Amino acid sequence: MEEPARPESDGAVQRDVLRELAWDPRVEQAGIGVEVRHGVVTLTGTVSSWGKRLAAEDAAYRVAGVLDVADDIEVKIPGGLARTDAEIAEAVRHALIWDVFVPDQRIRSTVTNGWVTLDGQVDFWAEREDTERVVRNLMGVRGVTNRIAVTVTPPRELPADVRRAIEEALGRRAHRHAGRIRVDVAGSRVALSGRVRSWEERRAITGAARLTPGVETVEDQLEIDHFA
């Protein structure tokens, strides 16, 4: 059976990813290699921080024709930028305290060889993401593991209210074609299914669901279809 025609050849996707990496000033493009096979992008090479690794990953996801990204980039921090675990832990605590969107007193961090593990409980998914955001760009951080739990505090929203709130949020994003997305709610758990045209659209839709009050977890069953 022949494979369905792809909207972009792997060679064209590779060129576009390389151009996107070069365009984004946050990316150390010179140290990154790009391979593409059947729409799956593999990133290799080295960068000097965890934040720059994620920036390269984000840049690849933005390119039309990308179905998945395998991020094999290594973080190698130059000697002059290296920090001890104690210094990183102190910087993490200060960053959490200074960010107005992070409930810092409910967050714990552990630093081992430059790798930061976050634990704790928050009320909203946005707080979980904001906590990781303020940590991942700190100097000396080699990686972040986010184990923060999202615990919906009583009273919980009714499933119908949660579904309606998500659908309204998607409806405000007209270019997201919300009508193609199915939203199933069971308690505080949300399952999203349907077809989207890109990773950017997929992430925007899951992000809208996670930001909705009353949502504890989001199951992403969305499929990428560039012809949708």
Domain check: are 186 and 215 in the same one?
A: yes
Question: How confident is the model at residue 124, as a pLDDT?
Answer: 85
Domain check: are 108 and 168 in the same one?
A: no
Residue 175, SS3 per DSSP: helix
Domain check: are 110 and 61 in the same one?
A: no
Domain check: are 136 and 94 in the same one?
A: yes
Domains identified in the chain, total number: 3
What the block records as the tokens of 93 is 């605590």
CATH label of the domain that carries residue 24: 3.30.1340.30
Cα–Cα distance, 198 to 64 (Å, whole number) = 7
Q: Is residue 113 a part of any domain in this protein?
A: yes
Domain finish residue from 150, 180, 205: 150
Parts of the chain with a pLDDT under 70: 1-7, 153-158, 173-179, 226-228
Question: How confident is the model at residue 226, as a pLDDT?
Answer: 65
Domain finish residue from 58, 75, 92: 75
Q: Is residue 1 a part of any domain in this protein?
A: no
Q: What range does the domain containing 126 cover?
A: 82-150
Q: Is residue 173 a part of any domain in this protein?
A: yes
Domain check: are 213 and 164 in the same one?
A: yes
Domain check: are 70 and 87 in the same one?
A: no
Q: Is residue 39 a part of any domain in this protein?
A: yes
Q: Is residue 101 a part of any domain in this protein?
A: yes
Question: How confident is the model at residue 186, as a pLDDT?
Answer: 84
| 221 contacts 192 by C-beta, under 8 angstroms | yes
Place of tokens 């990316």: 27
% of the chain exceeding 70 in pLDDT: 89
Domain check: are 30 and 47 in the same one?
A: yes
Question: How confident is the model at residue 5, as a pLDDT?
Answer: 44
Q: Is residue 3 a part of any domain in this protein?
A: no
Cα–Cα distance, 103 to 120 (Å, whole number) = 10
Domain finish residue from 48, 75, 102: 75
Cα–Cα distance, 101 to 3 (Å, whole number) = 47
At residue 72, what are phi and psi to the nearest 5 degrees?
-105, 20
Give Cβ neighbours of residue 2 (< 8 Å, ≥ 6 apart): none
Question: How confident is the model at residue 1, as a pLDDT?
Answer: 42
Instruction: Supply the mean pLDDT for the chain.
Output: 86
